[in-house]
Structure 1
Amino acid sequence: MSLVLALSATSCAAQSLPAETARKSDACQRAIAMSDADRGLAVLVLKDGEPVCSSPRSMLDQPHELWSGTKSFLGIMAAIAVKDGLLSLDEPAAATLTEWQDDPQREKITLRHLLSMTSGHKSRVGRPPGYGKAVASDITAPPGSRFLYGPVPSQIFGEVMRRKLQASGKSGGPKEYLEERLFAPLGIENYKWRNGPDTKPLMPQGVVMSARDWAKFGEFVHSGGRIEGDRIVDPDTFESLFEGSAANAAYGLSWWLPRTSQSEDAVTATTDIDDHADLLPADMVVAAGAGDQRLYVIPSLGVTIVRLAELDLAAVLRGDQGKWSDYEFIQLALEAVDTESQTPSN
C-alpha cells in the first residue's frame, strides 16, 4: 500500500509540474501582451538573476529612452559618493554651491532635499535647463515643505557632483563617475547619455539604455549595492534612498515607493501604485519614466522587472495620463515567477 501511495504521489507531482509551467508561461504571455497593447517595446522578468519571462532577444538589446527613469541613477550615485567620502546627504548644497551662501532660503537646502524633490524648486517637467540656470532658479517653497517634481533639482545635483569631483581632483563629471564606479563593473555597455542645452549630461532624463542593461542595474539594487560581493555604496545612505519624505511618502531619494501619497503632485497621480500600495510588496522600489518606462525591484522575492515602451508625446502634452496599470502588470509578472503569490504587502 505504501508503494502504491508513493507512486501515486509521484505521478500527481509529475502531472502538476507541466501544469504549473504552463500557467507561468501563460501569465508571462499575458504580461507581454498587456505591455504590447499599450505601446510596449520590451519586457524582461528576472528571478534570482535568471530570466523567466521576456520579449524577443532583439527587443531586449535595443537601447531606449528611460526618460525620468534616469533619476534613479542619481540616488545610487549619491550612495556611492558617500562611500567614497565625497559628500553626505544632509550637508547643505551651499557648501559646494558657494553662490548660494548668505541666501536665507538656499542655505537651508540639503542634498537630501534635492534628491527627494523637496528643495522648493518648481520646474516644468520635460524642459530641463542647463546646470547654471538650474542653480539660479527661484525657490517657490521652503525647503522640505513641498514635493515639487521636476528636472531642476536633478540638474542642481549634477552641478554639485561636478564641482565635488573637480575639487577632489577626479577627472570627468557625474556621468564619467557613474560609468567608472557602476556601469563598467556591472557590464552595462548598451547605452548612451544625452546632453542638455549646456552640453552637460542630463541628470533628470538623459539615459538611453537597453532593457537587459537596465535589468543589470536593478539586480545591483536587489543585491544591496554589491558588485561581486563588494558593497560599493554607503549602507545607511542606500537604505535612505527607499524612505519617503514628510512631503511625499511615495517618493524616496530618486525612487518611487508603494506608499499612499499625501502629495497632490500631478506626476504622482500618473501611476496607480499608491492606489494599491497596501496590496503591493512592501519592499518594492520603482524607477519610472515618461511613457511608462519602468524598473521594478522586489528584493524579498528576488524579482527584477523591466518594461520599456514608446512615449506618446502628444498625449503627455495634453495631460492625458493614459490607461497603464502598474498594479495589474506587476501581478501578471509575479504570476509568471511564483505560483504561491505570497508577496509581503504593506
Structure 2
Amino acid sequence: MTNWERATPEAAGFAANLERKLAAGFESGLLLPIHALLIGRAGKLVLEQYFDGEDESWGDQLGRVQFGPEVLHDLRSVTKSVVGLLYGIALERGLVPALDAPVIDGFPEYPDLVADPERRKVTVGHTLNMTMGMEWDESKPYTDPTNSEIAMEMAPDRYRFILDRPITGAPGEKWVYSGGAVALIGALIERGSGQKLPDFAREVLFAPLGITDFHWMAGSDGVVSPASGLRLTAPDLLRIGAMLVDGGRHEGQQVVPASWIEASWTPAIQTWDGLGYGRLWYIHEAPAPGYDTPLRWVGAFGNGGQRLWLAPEAGIACVINAGDYNLFERWVTPARIWREIVVGNLVRA
C-alpha cells in the first residue's frame, strides 16, 4: 500500500506476535482461507497480507486470482454502508430530502403510491435504517428468482416494485434486511445530485481520498446497484475506514460530516441477531485487552465474507476480503479474525 506510514504490531499497541498468531490460525484450520487482510491503526498500516483463491464478480467466475494491493474485489453489501456515507454528504450539501421526509415523495412518477397515507409514513430515515415496515425477503439464495433483491432486478420497474410491496407493520418498529431500501437511497442521491452514483461517489468521496480505480456493477437495465455493486481494492477500502475512524477527515479535509458518522454509529434498531443498526451500519461491542469496558465496534458486512471493521475509540480499521459467496456458515471466519486476532491482541489502548 502506498502513501501509508507503517508500524509494527508492537509499536501500534498489538501483541508482537500478531502475525504469527494469524499464521497459526490458518495452519490449524480455524481460519479458513481469505483473499486479503489489512489492519490500520491511528493512520498507520499494521498488517497487510494477500492470498490467492477462487473468486467471482456478481456470479461471473474469475478463476483463481492472486490478490494484491491493486486487485479490485467485490464488496457486495459493504457497498450499502458506502452509500450511507454518500447520503450524508449529499444531505449536508442540500441535495437530498431530510430524514423525516416521506421517501415516496422522491418518486412522484407513482402518484397512486404517493397518495397512499400508509406509504407516506415511511421516511428516508426508516429507509436508511431498514425499518420500512414493508414486505421484503432476502433469506432465499441469490440464485432464487423469488429472493426480493433478485425479483427487483428482474422487475420491469425496480422502484415501483420496491415501493409497492405489501405493508407488514408500522415503520420504525422492525428491522428487515433490504437491498430495495438501499436502491431507493441510491436513486435519491442520483436524482438530487443530477449525477450517476459512481460519478457522485468519485467526486465527493473517492477523489478526496485519492481513490482512482473502482468499478460499480449495474443491472440489466443499466442501473448501478447501491446494494452490492461496488468493487474496490482492499487498500482503498481501508482508506475509507481510516478516514471514518478519524472522524470523517482525510489529510485535514472533512470528507464525511462528523455528525453524520456519529449518528450512523448510534443504534436506531436491533437486527434479528442482536446487533445494533443505524444508517446502513452494524454496531456492537466486544471485550478488549487494555480497555476497562467493552470496545465499541462498527461494521460493514458483505456476502462472501467481505468486511470493513472499525473500532473508532481505538483508532482501528480492518479490511477482510474473501470468496465464500453464499456460504453463510463460513462467515464465522471474518468474525473470528476480528474478535480473536485483531481486538483480542490489543495489549494497550
Scaled to the shorter chain, the TM-score interval is 0.7 to 0.9
Distance 2:209 2:77 in 1: 21
CA gap of 1:331–1:164, structure 2 versus 1, over 3 A, is: same
Partner residue, 1:46: 40
For 2:311, give the aligned amino acid. Answer: I
* Preserved contact between residue 82 and residue 234 of structure 1 (Cα < 8 Å): no
Q: Does 1:91 align with 2:101?
A: yes
CA distance, structure 2, for counterparts of residue 39 and residue 328 of structure 1: 11
The one-letter amino acid of 2:281's match is W
> What one-letter code is carried by the residue in structure 2 that aligns with 1:256?
Y
CA 1:33–1:253: 2 relative to 1, 3 Å: farther
Instruction: Tell me which residue corresponds to 1:242.
Output: 265
Query: 2:299 touches 2:307 (CA, 8 Å); kept in 1?
Result: yes
User: What is the TM-score of this pair, normalised by structure 1?
Assistant: 0.76
Identity, in percent, stands at 24
Aligned to 2:163: 135
Equivalence for 2:80:
71
1:3-44 C-alpha deviation (Å, 9 max, x unpaired): xxxxxxxxxxxxx99xx9742342343466689942411100
User: Could you give the per-residue CA deviations for residues 307-335 of structure 1, whole angstroms, max 9, x where no partner exists?
Assistant: 1100243x35xxx4654361553331245
Q: 1:134 to 1:21 in 2, by over 3 A?
A: closer
- Which secondary structure does the structure 2 equivalent of 1:149 belong to? coil
1: CA distance, partners of 2:74 / 2:292: 29
- Give the deviation of 1:281 after TM superposition: 4.9
Give secondary structure in 2 for the equivalent of 1:185: helix
Give the distance between the partners of 1:53 and 1:81, measured in 2 at CA: 33
2:91 to 67, 82, 89: 82
- The aligned counterpart of 1:326 is 335
| Maintained 8 Å contact 1:82/1:237 | no
2:31 touches 2:333 (CA, 8 Å); kept in 1? no
1:306 aligns with 319
> What does 1:13-162 correspond to in 2, within 5 Å?
22-30=16-24, 37-56=31-50, 58-87=67-96, 88-98=98-108, 99=110, 100-125=113-138, 126=142, 127-128=149-150, 129-130=152-153, 131-132=158-159, 133-162=161-190
- Measured against aligned partners, the alpha-carbon deviations of 1:177-227 in whole angstroms (never above 9, x if no partner) come to 111100111112232110023211101100111111110110121121123
| C-alpha contact 1:294 1:306 (8 A) present in aligned 2 | yes
Task: Report deviation, 1:232.
Answer: 3.4
| Shift in alpha-carbon separation, 1:279–1:327, aligned structure 2, 3 A | farther
Structure 1 residues 29 and 78 mapped into 2: Cα distance closer, same or farther (>3 Å)?
A: same
Q: Greater CA radius of gyration, 1 or 2?
A: 1
Match of 2:277 in 1: 251
- 1:284, 1:218 → 2: CA distance? 12
Compared CA separation, residues 22 and 145, structure 1 to 2 (3 A): closer
Give how far 1:247 is off: 4.8
Residues 244-267 of structure 1, C-alpha deviations (whole Å, 9 max, x = no match):
1245461111001116xxxxxxxx
Instruction: Determine the C-alpha separation between the residues in 1 that align with 2:82 and 2:311.
Output: 17
Q: Distance in 1 between matches of 2:30 and 2:212?
A: 26
Which whole-Å deviations, capped at 9, do the CAs of 1:31-66 have from their partners, x for residues lacking one? 666899424111001122221112149533321111
Partner of 1:198: 221
Higher strand share: 2
Structure 1: gaps (5+ residues): 1-15, 167-171, 260-272
Structure 2's unaligned 5+ residue stretches are: 1-9, 52-66, 143-148
Match of 1:208, SS state, is: strand
- 1:35 and 1:43 in contact (8 A); partners too: no
The corresponding residue for 1:219 is: 242
Which has the larger share of helix?
Answer: 1
Name the amino acid aligned to 1:240. A
